[in-house]
Structure 1
């Protein structure tokens, strides 16, 4: 209970519970949020499970060593009760598509553990003033309402994606579209873009997920207000439209990655790094500005070796003589075939390339002046880190919100180039030949992103302007800084009219 007992007698402190969704890309920004709230006058309890706590141990250690009033509570996860393998407590530990639904059912059962914890009389625990929960934890709404606790929904994806999903449901667009790969415009968007049904169809909107979907939308409506990991200056028109649509306060407090100021904090944003950060920085320091392409596809996506070979060929054959690269290849951890191929690839590209097997300090890499491009899956955390670092993106979405984020990056913000992926994938054994992108196409995009010219210079200029706005948003007096203060005010009961979503 690090740091909490010293604050229990302070009546000016508010107690906020954070309940993240159990996926690395959801837990990391919420841990950042915990630090920011604790630095702004709140006592924070971060509820997770033993396996997930172990997976973000570097973050927990850093926060506990800072002596901020944050407590990390580990409650048992009902894997066995839901028919999951032991230890399956995180989305990226799901080994087959058929386990997605049992995982969601386990989350609902986990809600009973959370309710028991919140109702247990403990003299060292402050009363709960507010719960902030990830939108995927739809079970929180019923728990919070049964205990009379105001609750705020946290959306991890971009506002652009959340608004698209809202408008598609509102106008029932998908019901009339039969072709999964036919382009259509999303009605009501401030910046009209074209998407495909295959790219916006959510898992919970599919047959068999009706109960999950019903609970999600019910909780969405019951939440008092909304917190988002974005910033006003990045998505101003979308945020304004979303506020009018849901008629609730929407508080963007990002980019949350910028809450990590020093090198160690940036490096420990996630799991333990698979490379020595200072060795990595020394290598980057030896490279010219904007000469390094960083390639990483997030914590969930995996490439079959056939796709890895194509990416490798693209990086190896890119025409710029100055082009260097850092490539995160998580697949090598579990595949001898991949490891054998990588060893030969590394030998051929010695000096030009660095391969990281496992977890990379992404925020550190993207913040270095040598990095001029980022090939990304368009997960929102990665997209925001690229924007905060002022780095142009080569976009290669895989699933979920990523295809819509690509449209924001490429069509609206105009700070990225699409690799050309069309078929959504999640598990390696689902990646068909149709989903593969040829090395020649990848090479062309790498060169387009890394080389200059009027178009390339304009992209780089735009993303650097956004990087500056992102930094200012998080500084004292900035838009995200002020929104964080509004959350504290709400928890103190200074915005009573917002409670229960009234």
Structure 2
């Protein structure tokens, strides 16, 4: 364990227990940065593999430079690590189910870390992913420990989940419920069962944390609805997102230290490039890749396209499929478009002045990063909470447009649909209006995390609560 002498003097220590998927790992690592800035030791607990993954992929800061963040590496239990299936009828990455089964074995080693820290600190605060509730259940046996559950989704998605689960205990504005996407096809039956198992362990939490803020989620509408007694039984809650840095300092490093796509962006005019990326848990079929490529080419808009397969349970082991592009595509778009097949610095790309749009799966991480950087979204939901986030971005916030209608999720998105969506976002008055709205929202978000801003005050409130006498 790191820095034992420092621990003996600690009044309060915080332990992060993320779900070992990229978007979840990243959000709690970003939260570790925020909490450690209050001079509180933070202990980030996960497998060796996934800690390495989180460190390599984090944007906007370097966790190795933060002496207040301590990493506890767990041995990865043996599990089957199949490749993703790009042709699956449900696009949720079911190949990760063996990983979900394996993480249930973390209960004992994580409990040992809790007990060790509890003997050297006045209070141990455990912040755990809502999907890791069963793994941290032994905190109930530690007198000086408290747990706070982190919901990795938008407040909008989380509220509607709770509201429906509670039997719709009060009326909601009809505009919110209009055109709600179906939950069918969002996850596989095996993953739905895993989620249900975790929900059974939610009752020992002392409060809920959200990576959101009132500047984004409808001036607090959904955050306030979550606070209603019928939903969370007066449970304490805090929303102090976005956790990611809202200002990106892209230093002009030597070209061999800076991602090639950033060098390319430097040569483009402001708001002229659409960034295309569907996150870490999406695999497109060869046929869909072909249609997307043709649509991008025909749009005649500049683009950066991150073309990768979905992460496996262990991203550091084995070969990954190399998705194939139409013959001659990269040669034809040279100078106008760039295809990136490795890990791309998404936050820096979105924060670059040349980026004017983001074609995205609408994972909550990506939505927050895009909005905080002032970039409108062309929404192409794939699974999980993404259809709900698509509705939030397009219907409610009006900072994006729909590429793929969830009701037609089984259909191929044609090249003409892609072409039309890209032109609407990048080369129309409609797109310009969305860009103006999201830039205004970005400004509000940046003000909210400054001293005296609503998100900063929420974070201050949480820190005052966990460090209370």
- Same fold, TM exceeding 0.5? yes
Q: Distance in 2 between matches of 1:99 and 1:40?
A: 39
Superposed, 1:243-282 pairs within 5 Å as: 243-244=227-228, 245-246=231-232, 247-258=234-245, 261-263=248-250, 277=258, 279-282=260-263
* Stretch moving more, 105-114 or 22-31: 105-114
Q: Distance in 2 between matches of 1:252 and 1:76?
A: 33
In the TM superposition, what is the alpha-carbon distance from 1:443 to its structure 2 partner? 0.7
The answer to whether the aligner puts 1:109 opposite 2:105 as a matched pair is yes
Superposed, 1:317-356 pairs within 5 Å as: 317-319=298-300, 323-331=301-309, 334-335=320-321, 338-339=323-324, 341=325, 344-356=328-340
Decide which of 201, 211, 225 is 1:219's aligned counterpart. 201
**Secondary structure at the counterpart of residue 149 of structure 2:** strand
In the superposition, relative to structure 1, how do residues 69 and 400 fare at CA in structure 2: closer, same or farther (>3 Å)?
same
Whether the 8 Å CA contact 1:135–1:153 is kept in 2: the answer is yes
The answer to whether the aligner puts 1:437 opposite 2:422 as a matched pair is no
* Structure 1, unpaired ranges of 5+: 89-94, 174-185, 268-274, 426-433, 495-502
**Secondary structure at the counterpart of residue 237 of structure 1:** helix
Q: Distance in 2 between matches of 1:50 and 1:208?
A: 24
The answer to whether the aligner puts 1:146 opposite 2:141 as a matched pair is yes
Q: Distance in 1 between matches of 2:346 and 2:264?
A: 15
In the superposition, relative to structure 1, how do residues 491 and 195 fare at CA in structure 2: closer, same or farther (>3 Å)?
same
Q: How many residues align?
A: 445
Whether the 8 Å CA contact 1:328–1:356 is kept in 2: the answer is yes
- Structure 2 residue aligned with 1:72: 71
Q: Distance in 1 between matches of 2:185 and 2:235?
A: 24
* Structure 2, unpaired ranges of 5+: 84-90, 311-318
- Structure 2 residue aligned with 1:137: 132
Whether the 8 Å CA contact 1:129–1:492 is kept in 2: the answer is no
Q: Distance in 2 between matches of 1:147 and 1:167?
A: 32
TM-score, structure 2 as length reference: 0.85
**Secondary structure at the counterpart of residue 446 of structure 1:** helix
TM-score, structure 1 as length reference: 0.80
Decide which of 260, 273, 276 is 1:292's aligned counterpart. 273
Q: Distance in 1 between matches of 2:117 and 2:227?
A: 38
**Secondary structure at the counterpart of residue 335 of structure 2:** coil
- Structure 2 residue aligned with 1:420: 404
**Any idea what the Cα deviations from partners look like across 1:181-228, whole Å, max 9, x if unmatched?**
xxxxx956773332233458655xx58965x45543333332111111
- Structure 2 residue aligned with 1:499: none
More helix by share: 1
In the TM superposition, what is the alpha-carbon distance from 1:87 to its structure 2 partner? 10
Decide which of 435, 444, 449 is 1:460's aligned counterpart. 435
**Any idea what the Cα deviations from partners look like across 1:330-370, whole Å, max 9, x if unmatched?**
1498446x44x367211001100111002110010111111
**Secondary structure at the counterpart of residue 150 of structure 1:** strand
In the TM superposition, what is the alpha-carbon distance from 1:134 to its structure 2 partner? 0.6
The answer to whether the aligner puts 1:471 opposite 2:446 as a matched pair is yes
Q: Distance in 2 between matches of 1:299 and 1:201?
A: 16
Whether the 8 Å CA contact 1:21–1:137 is kept in 2: the answer is yes
Q: Distance in 1 between matches of 2:174 and 2:122?
A: 41
- Structure 2 residue aligned with 1:34: 32
In the superposition, relative to structure 1, how do residues 65 and 98 fare at CA in structure 2: closer, same or farther (>3 Å)?
closer
In the superposition, relative to structure 1, how do residues 10 and 110 fare at CA in structure 2: closer, same or farther (>3 Å)?
closer
